[in-house]
Amino acid sequence: MRKWWKEIVMYQIYPRSFKDSNGDGIGDLRGIIEKVDYLASLGIDLIWLSPVYQSPNDDNGYDISDYYAIHPEFGTMDDFDELLQRLHEKGIKLIMDLVVNHTSDEHLWFEESRKSKDNPYRDFYIWKGNGGQLPNNWQSWFGGSAWEYDKNTDSYYLHYFTKKQPDLNWENPKVRNEIYKNMRFWLDKGVDGFRMDVISLLSKPEVFSDSLSENIHYLAEHHYANGPKIHTYLQEMYEQVLGDYDIMTVGEGPGITKEVALDYIGEDRNELNMIFQLDHMIIDHGPGGKFDIADFSLRDLKKIMDGWEEATANGGWNNIFLDNHDFPRMVSRFGNDGEFREASTKMLLGFLLTQKGTPCIYMGSEIGMTNVKFKSPEEYRDIETVNYFQEVKDQQLNMEEALQKVHIQGRDNVRIPIQWNDSNNAGFTDGNPWIDVNPNYKSINVESSEDHKDSILNFFRDFIKYRKQDLIWVYGSYENLDIDSELLYSYQREYEGRRMIVICNFSNYQLDLPDYVQGEYVNGNYDSTPKLRPWEIKIYSI
């Protein structure tokens, strides 16, 4: 079925790092307003805005203390309204980040809840056990127990993330109604939908039994995700709120396997439109977690992507992305951010725009921004990384090695400021940036990309135009043509009797073309150079 949210190109903005308008070193809403023309020039259709709500920033805004207020460091509600209007004038939609698995511990509800066992807000959160005994061995995402002791009432509260992010009790209808009310508040302003943070975790298990493993991905899959009432809640949310608006919803889904995907996004389910599956984002996480880095091959990536494609081919829809604010830069992880940075970023962008599903591009990837290698632990800001360094220090492990792991996996790799030009601080701020810029901004920046016809930026703009000319890229069926190759990722899209073949070279080598495209046409021109340069993408219409 045709749906507008299948035909769009999405773009994620992490507002803290996009553009600072007032010199305090923090990106803000007026900074985004300054760049509306730039955003429109890209040809993107929808922006997912990471949280801009009131927050003590323990987890950079994913710990919300007031769902109805804009954090002053980002601006005012008037700024927000103006941004929304300016984007809509340009035909760009905006979706908000809905973070409702947990609040900040500085949210009024939690401040009340912890006061006493008979406080009216007590049941807004999940309290168990007593000082003598931890409720179980569950671990939190960012290290340490998932339970925090509160001496006030001699009990523990549950937090899947930091201890400043207590989990809400979705069993409580009052909690659900508060959230629905808030969703309506934003939708009635005219926002175009939600990206729903860790939506798979809302429904807690019936029994809080010990886990066989303390690995976070194991815990997510076996204890935290897909709880018994998750679909009751999502269907209720649809009934109470979502169903009344023409919007798009994408749920972030740790622990959602492809086997259960359609329960969330099946067209007949009245739940969500699509999910951000994370299998390919944890492809290189070893048993010890993300900083226990494991090898992966192109074949592993294909297996995951194809598995999801297959699982959703009938009655579902995918989102296609290769990075976001939680994971390394796509070119540093899946491409080659050295010698072949330009070629491999272009190829990966082309890949995102020709796979089957709604593509989501993370800000900065349109100019080929890369991971950053800060020299000292002090330069890092992300709570996950800071906690990791602390652990390394406490256990007297090798700090130099830890730093190298963070260079590869840390979330700050993608949270550094956008590189606008080659002036001080990459043109991001006139003040001191909240986190350092990547020194490579002198050569990698938006301004210099504008000047070059062949830049990654202009390739991206042209490719979006190209994609939009033909619904084959949206509705065409998908088939992988070569699952075994460790160098080539090639696939076919088919629509109304026409076929397109996409060949991506995921290697540093020049390759011969597979025989099924020899002598065919590339983008309308006969292919007189039947070779693939390193990291090249070629498209054949058959």
Q: Which residues bind ligand TEU (CB under 6 A)?
A: 59, 62, 99, 141, 161, 197-198, 252, 254, 278, 290, 325-326, 384, 411
150, interface contact from Ca ion, ligand TEU, none, CB < 5-8 Å by kind: none
Q: How far apart are CA 355 and CA 448, in angstroms?
A: 29
Catalytic residue among 28, 252, 284, 309: 252
Catalytic residue among 197, 366, 382, 384: 197
Helices (H), 207-297: 216-219, 230-240, 261-265
Buried b (16+ CB within 10 A) or exposed e, 263-299: ebbbeebebbbbbbbbbbbbbbbeeebbbeeeebebe
Of 327 and 491, nearer to ligand TEU (C-beta) is 327
- 298 in helix, strand or coil? helix
- 71 in helix, strand or coil? coil
Beta partners for residue 490, in sequence order: 503
Instruction: Write out the DSSP string of 301-360.
Output: HHHHHHHHHHHHTTT--BEE-S--TTS--HHHHHS-SSTTHHHHHHHHHHHHHHSSSEEE
71, interface contact from ligand TEU, Ca ion, none, CB < 5-8 Å by kind: none
Half-sphere exposure of 265 (CA within 13 A, CB side): 30
Tell me the closest approach of the beta carbon of residue 51 to ligand TEU, in angstroms: 9
26, interface contact from Ca ion, ligand TEU, none, CB < 5-8 Å by kind: Ca ion
Give, in order, the Cα–Cα distances in Å from 104 to each of 71, 116, 279: 13, 18, 27
Tell me the closest approach of the beta carbon of residue 213 to ligand TEU, in angstroms: 17
467, interface contact from ligand TEU, Ca ion, none, CB < 5-8 Å by kind: none
Residue with tokens 């805005």: 49
Residue 24 in contact with Ca ion, rule: CB under 5 A: yes
Q: How far apart are CA 178 and CA 4, in angstroms?
A: 29
Of 201 and 457, nearer to ligand TEU (C-beta) is 201
Tell me the closest approach of the beta carbon of residue 252 to ligand TEU, in angstroms: 6
Instruction: Kindly indicate which of the ranges 19-27, 32-40, 416-424, 528-536 contains the residues binding Ca ion, using the contact rule CB under 5 A.
Output: 19-27
Q: How far apart are CA 284 and CA 50, in angstroms?
A: 25
Q: Parallel, antiparallel, or unpaired for β 193-196 and 93-98? A: parallel
197, interface contact from ligand TEU, Ca ion, none, CB < 5-8 Å by kind: ligand TEU
59, interface contact from ligand TEU, Ca ion, none, CB < 5-8 Å by kind: ligand TEU
Candidate list 3, 7, 22, 475; residue touching Ca ion; CB under 5 A: 22
- Structure token digits, residue 332: 């540093």
Instruction: Kindly indicate which of the ranges 25-33, 50-58, 212-220, 527-535 contains the residues binding Ca ion, using the contact rule CB under 5 A.
Output: 25-33
- Is residue 197 part of the annotated active site? The answer reads yes
Of 20 and 167, nearer to ligand TEU (C-beta) is 167
Residue 26 in contact with Ca ion, rule: CB under 5 A: yes
Binding site for Ca ion (CB under 5 A): 20, 22, 24, 26, 28
Residues designated catalytic: 197, 252
